[in-house]
Structures are given as C-alpha cells and as structure tokens.
Structure 1
Amino acid sequence: MTISTVPFTFARASDRLVGTLYLPAGAPVATVVTTGPLTSVKEQAAGVYAAALARRGFAALAIDHRTFGESAGTPRQLEDPLGKVADIGAAVAALQADERLAEVPVVALGVCAGGGYMARAVADDPRIRAFAGVAGIYPGTAVVDPAVVERGRAARERRLATGFAETIPAVAADSGDVAMPLREAFEYYGTPRGAVPNYTNAFAVESFEHTAGFDAKEAAARLTVPFLLVHSEHALVPPWARAFYAAVISRKSELWLDSTGQIDFYDDPHLIEPAAEAAAAHFRNAVS
C-alpha cells in the first residue's frame, strides 16, 4: 500500500515535540502511537513499525521524545520513562484534536524499552484501545540497584548546582561505561546501520535516577484493553516478558518469533513483517 508522511508537532507543557505521521492511502483503521528503544529517535525502530502499520491501513505516529532528536527539553538525552509516558499522553491528545483523525480510535505499540513505557501509558490512559509490545522490556521493582539510582541523583544535583549535564555514550565499540553495554547495540546505534543523522550517541547520567527504579510490570494487572506480546527467546529478558504476560488479566495473545537477538527486531524485515502483521490484526480486532 502507498503511504505518505507529514510532520506532526505538538506540545507537552512548554516543550515542543516533533514527530512524523505516517498515513495510508485511504481512511485509517485506527491511529497507532509508537514509542521505541532507549535513547532512540523517530527515524529508528518506532518509525519502522509506524511505516509497516501504515502500509497495513493505519495512521501511525513516531515521535522524538522530549530531550531527544528534534524535540525540545533539557537536559538533553534524559531518559525519563515517566516523562515519556507523559509524552505519549500528549501525543494522544494532539492526535484526537487533529481534524484528520479526531474520530479515529487510538491504539499503541512499543518496542524494546518502549514496550515497558507504553504499558504504563496504556494502563493510565482510557483513550488507548489496544496495546502491542514488540521485544518489550518489562522490569519490576526487584531490579533496582541503589548505587545506580544514587549515581543519577548525584549527576542531577551537580547539573542544578553548576549547569553542567554529565553524559556517557549510549553505546561504544568496547562497551565500558555506556548506557547499553551490548555488542549488538553498538552494531546498530554505533554504525551506519542505525545511527541516523537525527540520533545522538549520548545518555544523560541523571537518567539512571529515573530508569533504575522504573516499574513496568505493575501496569500488567491494570491493563483493561487487548494486549499482544511479540517476543523471542533470544531477545532481552524473556522471563520478564513472560511474567508481564502472565499478570495481564485483559484479553491477550502472544507471538514468539525466532530472532538472533534483541536489535534485529529494529530493522530485520523477517521479524518486522510478522510482528506488524500480528499487530495489525490485533488492532483491527480491538477496534472493530
């Protein structure tokens, strides 16, 4: 199906957020809000799935979250899960205020860390009619490391005192002190494979204060809309995905694919196409 793209901007509080809206040729079945992995921007996984869903008849929005890419907000590169949840809520409001989409139901898809973020957003927002998580990461409170939280808190206090926002690389060839110490993460974000011009390879250290204690699992039992889990035994932490899925009490379904790891869910058509096809069927069923 032929699709088109248009810029889509909206605000959260005083900050301007920038997205890309993918539109199908005809009237959309629903509007999909997408959110992606840690430190990512709209041209990466979120945009890939938005395009795949637009080809299947959906309008789909991929955004640069606050402090990332073209969107406003400081400190730059701050990974704040609950802040991203608030961005999603602002995106839903903006889509429903858009005359092209005002009467179109809204559904949601999250990839990797965005799966956990989207779980909280959907559990908190009755406007969202269905949810799909692709290679999602769903941490609970048991994974909190107090030392990591303290490192983030100290970085925040230094910024407030001095104006200097400390960052570390998101990825590096030799790993080291980075946000994502996985070789496959470097092979995506650290190379032309995934390092699009809008992407910055950096992670605000004070992000640790937010990410280390983020609980996605608690949202599972609060979901009231249909949920689709797409995962792989070779993606990150399948036990978390299974535990999240087991705790969901709303209508649910699962699709387990055969990936090499986590990152190939971002750009391998052999994973993207079946995941998008399953999500499209899931969303159609939810809004019909």
Structure 2
Amino acid sequence: MSDHHPSLARRDLLALAGGTASLVIAGVQPTLAQTNSNSTSGSSMQPTQAWDKTFARSDKVDHSKVTFKNRYGITLAADLYLPKDRGSRPLPALAVSGPFGAVKEQSSGLYAQTMAERGFVTLAFDPSYTGESGGEPRNVASADINSEDFSAAVDFLGLQPNVARARIGAIGICGFSGMALTAATSDSRIKAVATASMYDMSRSMSRSYKDSYTMEQRREVIDYLSQQRWKDADAKAFALGYHEVPFDQSGNIVTGQRVLPEKLPPDPDPVLAVFFDYYRTPRGFHPRSINSATAWTATTPMSFFNFPMYANIEMISPRPILLIAGANAHSRYYSEDVYQAASDPRELLIVPDAHHVDLYDRADKIPLARLTEFFERNL
C-alpha cells in the first residue's frame, strides 16, 4: 500500500507526518497542569526496570536502563544494549532516537536492540521533555535541545569501558533524523549517520508538506502560535493539542481537533491508516508515547520556525551519511533532498514496496544488512 496520497487533507497528513500524531484521547485539550502529576523531573528520575517494550526481548543482548545529563542539565533516560558475546575488546557504538513523538520502547529501541545483536553497543534514548527523560514542561520539542540530546548520548557512550570512543555513530528515525544530522554538523565525534524514513521537522512545521505554505499562511501560523503564548501566559499553563498544520481544507486555522480517531473510518486515507496501525494498536502503542496517548504543547513549533535543521550539512563530510526511505513513503522527498544537499560520502537507499511506517518495525522491510555493513565499514 502506498502512503503517497496528495489528496489527503493537509491537517491530517502533516499532523501525522514524522510521527507527530498529536491526539487527545478523550477529545479534550488538556493543559500542562492536568498532566504534571505524571511528569518526570531531572532530579527524581526513577525509570521503570520492567520490560515494557513494543517488541520482544532478545536473548542475544544484555539490557539495562541508564540515565545521563545533556549540556543543558536535563536528565535523559535510555536503554543500553550490549552484545552478550562481546569479549573484552572495545566495540563500536550507536546513539539512536526517534520517531518524533515516540519513545525508546518503540522503534528506536527495536533498532538499538537489533544492532546490538549485530555487534554494536547501542543506546536508545527518550528525548528531553518526553518519555522517562526529564525536563519541564512536558511534551515539548526543541530543535536545539533535541539535537544536543544526540551529543549527550555520545558523551555517555564514550564513557563506557567497552566502547571505542573513535567509533561512535548515530541513527535518527523519522523526525529525529534531522536532529541526528544537525548534531553531526557540529559534533565530529559522530563518525557516521544513518537515517530511516527521514523527516525534517523544521521544514515541515514552517513550510508544510512539500513546502506548500504560502507566505501568508506562514505568517498566519506564526500569529496563531504567538497568540497561543498569550493564552498560556494568562492560564499559567501550557496548553496541549498542537497540530502541525492548523488549517482546514478551506484554509482556515483550526485548533483542538484530534488527529487519530478512536476508530478508523470505513475507507481511511492510506497515510492515516498506516500511522494509526502503528501508534494506536498493540503493534506500536505505548502509554508514554506522545503519538500514542497525548499531544505536544500547542507552541512546540516556535523553535522549529527559528532553527533550520542541518543548515550546515556540508560540515559532516568527510564523515558518511546513509539515507534510507521507503519507495512509497510520502516522506521520501526529504531523504532525496538531503542527499542532494549533502557532500560525499553519502548514500541514498530506497526500499522497494515500503511506506514510511514500514521502516519503524518491519524486519522484512528494514535493510538491516545494509545498515550493519554501513556502520561496520565506517566506524
């Protein structure tokens, strides 16, 4: 099934794009105050030790829950995976995160565990303000801070006695692909970067799908976000319910609408269906995932308007980049455009008969052999 569907209403397609399924379960737009009872502060981290992933535990790796701080003092929670048959030699390592709005118990954890089976020390982390990581208020994304999260993961990996510091790479999935690339532009310790189902969240939020916003619409979005700040200031709380594209089909700004329905309509759009099938079913649902169970703060896009992802992508060279995208993915053009903008060495791998979400967890679609070969060759 192809998920390239240009007739899809923009508010549905793009609110889902990059994993930004900002739904409100009860159809109510909660505020920060309503969600803070379960928030995680950087000073009182107690991540669960239970195996609560959306994928089966491997008997080929050792797993542990760890925490570490980023450059801004925010405590990040992560899952560390090590090959059981690792010997005593230092190993190459990978920092893994994404999709945007997901948690380490979902796709990033699956990638991390699988790559650990293949001989890498891997770290799947929850970005700042989400999952089990610290940061207040909750459910905020920051182009800058979330790029820093990758470098903080490199810090942690490089301190491990079984990791070769000169052999650390990164994997960004979906909306965190842009953060991984951005981190690598200013952190030469990241020796190789791979992305899967790439999404550029700055471009998506500020310009919409395939840069379809007019200048007038961009100004409308900025005004909407600016006025929302007054509402948050008056309420002394941060409203949730952010939608990546706050326009209806008539071009009017709308707020407070659910993105993913409780049930799919009889003839759902393919893009809606594939995101629903991951985030809202047992296949990929996780209660700590913003995409599965809650929403981003309404003003989340502000930093993405100000902070273009990988603006200095040429600085990654001569370190290599591998961009993986599904042939039928509505997001495929992001990987293709980055390939054109980047300097060699770079590779673009288009996976036949695969859509965007297939590369989250479908072992028969994810090109694991190619991913392994890329990092073995470059780390």
Alignment of 1:13-92 (within 5 A): 13-25=72-84, 26=86, 27=89, 29-92=91-154
Question: Secondary structure at 2:311's aligned position in 1?
Answer: helix
Moved more, 182-191 or 248-257: 182-191
SS at structure 1 position matched to 2:333 = helix
1:110-132 deviation digits (Å, cap 9, x = unpaired): 11111111110111111110011
1:258 aligns with 2:346: no
* Residue in structure 2 matching 1:126, options 178, 181, 188: 188
TM-score calculated relative to the size of structure 2 = 0.68
Establish whether residue 150 from structure 1 lines up as the match of residue 242 from structure 2.
no
Task: Mark the runs of 5 or more structure 1 residues left unpaired by the alignment.
Answer: 176-180
Distance in 1, Cα, partners of 2:279 & 2:305: 21
- Runs (4+) off by over 6 Å: none
- Residues in 2 aligned to 1:186 and 1:125: alpha-carbon distance in whole angstroms: 35
State the distance in 2 between where 1:214 and 1:258 align. Answer: 33
Other-structure match for 1:284: 376
Q: Which residue of 178, 190, 196 corresponds with 2:280?
A: 190
Secondary structure (helix, strand or coil) at the match of 1:221 reads helix
**Equivalent residue number for residue 328 of structure 2:** 234
8 Å Cα contact 1:42/1:64 also seen in 2: yes
What SS does the aligned partner of 2:299 have?
helix
2:236 maps to which residue?
A: 163
The one-letter amino acid paired with 1:57 is G
Structure scoring higher RCO (CA < 8 A, sep ≥ 6) equals 2
Shift of 1:186: 2.4
Would the aligned equivalents of 2:177 and 2:195 in 1 still touch at CA under 8 Å?
Answer: yes
Name the structure where strand makes up a greater proportion of residues.
1
C-alpha deviation, 1:164, in angstroms: 1.1
Amino acid at match of 1:172: L
Structure 1 pair 188–76 and aligned structure 2 pair: CA distance change class (3 A): same
The structure that has the greater radius of gyration is: 2
Measure how far apart 1:205 and its partner are.
1.0
**Helix, strand or coil for the counterpart of 2:364?**
helix
Deviation digits for residues 237-273 of structure 1 (CA, Å, limit 9, x no counterpart): 322321210121131122211244211211111122x
TM-score, with structure 1 as normaliser = 0.88
Runs (5+) with no aligned partner, structure 2: 1-58, 244-258, 264-270
Q: Quick one: distance in 2 between partners of 1:9 and 1:47?
A: 15
Partner residue of 2:40? none
**Aligned residues with identical type, % of pairs:** 26
Q: How many corresponding residue pairs? A: 280
Shift of 1:190: 2.0
Q: Quote how far apart the aligned CAs of 1:212 are.
A: 4.5
C-alpha deviations, 1:19-53, integer Å up to 9, x for none?
Answer: 00111121564110011111111011111111111
**What one-letter code is carried by the residue in structure 1 that aligns with 2:301?**
F
Equivalent residue letter for 2:377: N
* Aligned-pair CA distance for 1:87: 1.1
- 1:93 is paired with a residue whose SS is helix
CA contact (8 A) 2:166 2:189 kept: no
The residue number in structure 1 matching 2:60 is 2
How well do the aligned residues superpose, as a CA RMSD in angstroms?
A: 2.4
